[in-house]
Every structure is written in C-alpha cells, then in structure tokens.
Structure 1
Amino acid sequence: MKRILLSVASLALILGSCQNNANEVKPDQQEIAVDMSDFYVYTSEENTVKSERPGHVHGPQCGSMKVLNRQLKENPSLENRMYNIEKHTRKLIAAKSSNATSKGKPGGGGTPAPTPYQGSITIPVVINILEDANHPVTQAHINSQIDILNEDYNDLNPNAGGVPNEFNNDIANVDITFVLETVNRKASSKSSWGTNDAMKHSNQGGIDATDPAHKLNFWICEIGGGILGYAQFPGGELATDGVVIGSDFFGENARGGEYGHGRTATHEVGHWLNLRHIWGDGRCKQDDFVTDTPSSDQPNYGCPSYPTVHCRSNDMTMNYMDYVNDNCMYMFTNGQNDRMRTIFATGGPRESFVN
C-alpha cells in the first residue's frame, strides 16, 4: 500500500511539473516593456533649417521632416499611430536582443540573432512622372535608379570599401530587391509642386497612387524650394504613401550634379522604411532610435574627411541617412536594418508587402 501511495505521489509530481512547463512563458512570448520616453515626432523649425547646406539660403535638402510636421498638424491621430508603430518596433528589437542573450550570444558574439523579419523582401515599384519638358525623365534614368536602389539595399555600393574600420562591423545587407512594375506619365505645366502632396492626386493635376498597400509609389516632378525629395513615414494616409523625388535627382542624371547619382531615392526610401535622419534632427540627446549609429547634432555635407566629430563621437558621415554628396554615402547599419525589417513583421505597418 505504501508503495502504491509513493507511486501515485511521484506521478502527481511529474504531471504537475509537466503542467508548469507547459504554462511557462518563453522569452519571445513575454510582454516586453520598452522605454518610450525619448520618442518624438515633431521637429523644431531651427533643426529643419539646419538641414540646409552652409553658405546657401535655400540649399538642397530632404523635406520629409517638414512634411511630417504638416501631416501631424492636419491629422492629430497620426502621432498616436506613429507612437504605436514605434512601440511595436522597439518590442521586436528588444525581443531579438533577448533571444540573442538567451542563446549565449550577448553583444554580437557568435552568430547574430535573426532580424525581426527574416528572408528576402521584394518591393514592386510604380513610377509616376509629372512630365516637364525642361526636366525630362528617361527610361535610362528610371532603370539606373532601380539598379542603384538594389545596390544600396543589398550592400553592393561600389564605394562601400571606404567605410572606416570603426564602422566596418556595422555594415548591413538589408536584402530588399526593388522591381519596376509600372511607369505612369502625365504632362504637367507646373514648374513647382511644393510639398503639400498635390502631385499624388489626379484631381489636383497629379497622379493617384497605385495600390500603395502592396507597391512603393514614386512621384517624379519639380518640387521647388531647394527640396531634393521627401517621403511619407509609416502610419500616414494610404492615398499619399510613397516617395517624391525632384526630376533632376532621380537616377543617374547629369543635371543633378553631386546629387545626381540616385542616392536621394535611397535616402527617402529609408524614411519610407521608418528611418530617421542619422543626427536625429535635434541636439546630441535627440536620437534616431538606432543603437549602432553615433550621436550627432547636425547633418554633414559635401564629402567629409574621417573623422568628423560631433557630440564627442565620430560621425558616420557615409550613412545613407546623412546629407553628404551621393558618392560619399554608402552604408546602412545592422541597427537600421533591424528597424526597417520590423515594419514587415506581423503587426507591422508594411506587413501587407510580404503577405
């Protein structure tokens, strides 16, 4: 009888242990708390003006942050959507870090943990051209731009060998392929479209977006105001989602000068994929939300020498999200890659591109 009681007790302990294991929450299933205290959406006019080239009243610049400020004022719910997107992004990156640590690979030792969305990504591209006879956009420009995007997002930029040793382990192959699907052309007599998204609406003389939930729309036109291009961040209205590039700065284009080698599109697509400017559009403590990009308080221009120091660290001037000449930018970081890939993961704002 004693033996039977002991056997029953042992069985109960085993069953209880199994039940506890079944109910145990694995690290990747836990609700991960993230700090959102540094999150920002609005940028000050002072830091927007700092984006202009020194010595120029209206130098070439990216208009994405100005456009974001406008959209936030027009649509109060956008800030909350962007907050939730950022929280989702940080949770996935924190989960990746937790998984790496649990596997005994903290701090990058051994094989790194997978990115938040794994696998190659293919993005269909629609080119919408508001044609200006004085600023033609040819098929050669279009083809070269697609090639440049594929170089840059697959770590194939021929200048990448110039990355300093300090940043050499940070270089990412984002593994995104852009495929040209459609080119839409419409004659336009407008010499300047501005940044109010009129080029994205047929009832304002522009071209409506084509299936923006599944395709990346570009609008190519004369923007004016010294703006090379601008993009809409994830979370904005679907009808205006995409990237706008000035006609002379699209693809390999002699009229674009030092900005005529297709990197404006690389930079603006980075914003469309939820990257901020590498200097964070603020002072030293305002960040771009990426851990492996150095702190800075201003953009760089031209072709800076290394090292260029701001905020007591060497700037990553060759990063695509700075403002240097096209031929002097040639890398994304692993942290930027993680950030971009979270938007394609389950629950991400661009999940529809991969499902």
Structure 2
Amino acid sequence: MTESDLSQPPTRDLCGTMLVHRRLLNESTTYRSRRAVIENRALQYERGRRSPARTDVVTIPVVVHVVHNPAVPAQNIGDDQVHSQIAVLNRDFRAANPDLDKVPEVWRPLVADARIEFRLAALDPEGEPTDGIVRVPTGRTSFGFDDAVKSSASGGSDPWPTDEYLNVWVCQLGGGLLGYAQFPGGPPQTDGVVILHSAFGTTGTAAPPFDGGRTATHEIGHWLDLYHIWGDDDGACSSDDKVADTPNQADANTGSPVFPHVSCGNGPHGDMFVNYMDYTDDAAMFMFTRGQSKRMDACLEGARASFLVASGALTAPSPSAPSPSAPSPSAAGGPVRDGTAPGGITQQAAMPGPSHWPAPAAAPGVTGTAGTTGATAADAATVPAQPGPDGHGGPGGHAGPDGEVGRLLRDSERLAAEVLKEIRTVIDMVGGGDRPGG
C-alpha cells in the first residue's frame, strides 16, 4: 500500500477492537481470567444485584500522543483539532450533543447521561505542567492494530501511566482502520485507544463522513467495556452486546440508515443504528443507552476504579485563562450548565436531554468529584467529611471537596480489593499465569 493510498479516507467505519480482544484471549490466560471477573461484575450491575455507587460526574485525564511522519505534515494535527475532539466527547458522554433530537421517539426514554467528562492533562507523570499533547515523529508510514504505535521502540510513543491517564494515540492507520481500543483487563503497557488522524475531532484533517469526532466516542466506549451493539456474530443473531436495552441486531450498520431498519426479528423498531457503538457515519449516531451507562459504571467502579480517585493530573483552570482542554459551552459546544443544551434542547439537571424525557433515578452512594481537584491521597485521608444528619459523612451530609475525595479514595480502595479478590479466585481456578496460546 502506497503513502497516497494511506492518505485516502476510509469508505467504511472499521474498528479493530475485537481483533485485539481475540488476540489477547488467545495469548493470555490472565487476560481471560480478568475478563471473566469484569463480565461477572457487569452482569451484577445489569441484573440490579449491584447499584452504581457514584452519583456525580467523573473527569478522566487525557493525554493525546500525536505520532506523525514528518514527510506527511498533515499527520501532525493542530491543537485546535485535539480540543475539538475533547469537546465532542464531553457532549456525547453527557447526552448534551446538539443532534440528540434526531434519536427516534421510541428510544428517547433510553438516552443516558453517562456522567463522564474528559480533560487534557495539566500535569505530566513527573508533576510538570503540560498541555496534555505529546508530539512524536516517526519513520513509519502507517500503523496497524498490533499496538506498535504505543511504544517508542517500534516507532510510536510510550504511554503515560495507564491507571492515571486515558492514553489516546492519533496517527496514520492502515488497512482501512478508523481506530481501536483495548478493553479493561488487558496489559497496562498497551492500555488506551488509537484513532486515525483524519477521523479525530471536527476540524483540521478530519474528513467526511468521519469528521464528527464519533470514532473516539465509539473507541472510548470500548475502553469503558462496551461491545459493538450487534454482538460481532457475523449476522447470526446468536450474540449481543450484553446490554438488555439495546435491540439484538444482525450485523453492523453503515452509512445513514432510515428508521426503522429491521433485522433478527427485532421489529417493529428494528436496529438501534443511532447508537455510538454501531458503525454508522458520524452524522447518524447520537446516543448511549441507560444499560450501556450502567455497564460503564461497573467498569469505572471495578477494573478502572483508579479513575474515581481525584487525580493530580488535573488542576483547576486559572480564572484569567480558562484551560483550552475544557472549552466553554458557548465557545465549543460543550455541556451547558444553565439548563439548555447546544441546539436549543432544554435539559434537566439529572439527565441532559429534552425536558420531557424521563430522568434516571438517583443512585445511592458517594458523590464523586474525581479528577476535579489536585488533592493527594494523603490529603484526602486526613480531611474528614462533615457529618450529615445521621452523624456520618455521606449523601445526607455536607462534605467539602476534600471530604468527598476522601470518601472516593476509600470507596476506590474497597472496589479495588473486591476486584483483586475476584481475580485471585478465577486465577486459582484456571491455574494462573500467562501461557501463550494456553
């Protein structure tokens, strides 16, 4: 394949996540064991045996590795293209996207605010100020789904600690790939998502029909443990995405289908092709469901519990100089806090979306402010929450930011302990250890 071939935009949205998933399942018994634990937790959330503990928004620190070949200057995308992608993520994961009104009426009650936001890191792993963007030149003409872009030894960029940052690699991908992600439970040194530079953000090199930033929304959905909505069973209708409120469908949808599109006997409403986890064009996908949001909760309170603890990678923006990685709603179309969403959609506080859409019931548990302060674990452990009416810090109390961080830290430690216990149990059952092909 020539360089000119690689520069042509893909004609179909192709995600390599399941290829990576199957490779890891074949290579590592540890990965298989961890995935079993993660699926067990997700099933408990799905069936209501566990409820999400957090009730507030978690902010994920992001580092974007721009891996570019100097012979193709367009690959070295600009900061504005990166910022445009962060803005899209913050709209999509908060159900504040202006095209939300295009969701067919029958599915509007299922639209979910996942209560997840993203911000470019303000501090690097050494505690030094950063804009959250790493630029690395490479001699390679393209990358595949073999994770080469994630290592400097193979012409890519080494990740920042993957339990503290969401690592996003932006590069030239070959083979028609738009992107791929690693499910939770995989090797930490390759954790994160990879996106084709011309399918990243909404400006710069972003090219139709993948110029709406939805490739990153899709891949980060995988990073948060969501499967493709059709279950990757090649049209057999025998598998699904393990989420009850997404209709079973035969295969991926592409382009911009017309509602309804029926398959697998799922009439009269048919496939939920407007879901971010399908393969439709960016301009045709608009939503996550409540079931998918619950599965993301299971992931954040399990395998990715480290992101619920306030991270030193994020610092409050200066009052005189707002952070470009957290664009204001008026400037970048991000979540609007005054009750209105971009495009004139009225929002409720509990669930962004049209005012007549039902809001999800509040989940019991801690109020999360993860990632919004620079408090350290030691600070959090020594500053107690102010007691509530029952004499304890909690939902009924008036815990200040440090108290909330402390409660999040304790809850994260508890969740991590549960996960480790479950992992040990499964590993004991299978004999433990990594055995290639075992």
Fold match, TM over 0.5?
yes
Following TM superposition, by how much is the alpha carbon of 1:135 offset from its aligned partner in structure 2, in angstroms?
Answer: 2.6
Higher helix share: 1
Quote the residue 1:263 is aligned against: 214
Cα 1:147–1:296 shift into 2, 3 Å: same
Of residues 272, 289, 294, the one that matches 1:338 is: 294
Of residues 94, 117, 120, the one that matches 2:47 is: 94
Of residues 265, 270, 281, the one that matches 1:312 is: 265
Q: Distance in 2 between matches of 1:278 and 1:311?
A: 13
Quote the residue 1:280 is aligned against: 231
Amino acid at match of 1:139: D
SS in 2 for 1:306: coil
CA contact (8 A) 1:85 1:349 kept: yes
Of residues 143, 149, 156, the one that matches 1:206 is: 156
Asked if 1:119 is matched to 2:56, the reply is yes
Quote the residue 1:49 is aligned against: none
Asked if 1:233 is matched to 2:183, the reply is yes
Quote the residue 1:179 is aligned against: 119
Following TM superposition, by how much is the alpha carbon of 1:60 offset from its aligned partner in structure 2, in angstroms?
Answer: 3.6
Quote the residue 1:193 is aligned against: 143
SS in 2 for 1:154: coil
Q: Distance in 2 between matches of 1:255 and 1:144?
A: 10
CA contact (8 A) 2:76 2:135 kept: no
CA contact (8 A) 1:93 1:116 kept: no
Higher relative contact order (CA 8 A, sep 6+): 2
Amino acid at match of 2:61: P
SS in 2 for 1:224: coil
Q: Distance in 2 between matches of 1:71 and 1:223?
A: 20
Q: Distance in 2 between matches of 1:92 and 1:59?
A: 34
Q: Distance in 1 between matches of 2:42 and 2:206?
A: 38
SS in 2 for 1:130: strand
CA contact (8 A) 2:63 2:165 kept: yes
Amino acid at match of 1:199: V
Following TM superposition, by how much is the alpha carbon of 1:119 offset from its aligned partner in structure 2, in angstroms?
Answer: 2.0
Alignment deviations for residues 299-324 of structure 1 (CA, whole Å, 9 cap, x no partner): 11111000000111111110000000
Amino acid at match of 1:287: D
Of residues 10, 22, 25, the one that matches 1:69 is: 22
Aligned length: 282
Following TM superposition, by how much is the alpha carbon of 1:188 offset from its aligned partner in structure 2, in angstroms?
Answer: 1.4
Quote the residue 1:131 is aligned against: 68
Quote the residue 1:220 is aligned against: 170
Following TM superposition, by how much is the alpha carbon of 1:255 offset from its aligned partner in structure 2, in angstroms?
Answer: 4.3
Gaps of 5+ in 1: 1-56, 98-113
CA contact (8 A) 1:96 1:115 kept: no
Higher gyration radius (CA): 1
Amino acid at match of 2:140: K
RMSD: 1.8
CA contact (8 A) 1:144 1:251 kept: yes
CA contact (8 A) 2:178 2:215 kept: yes
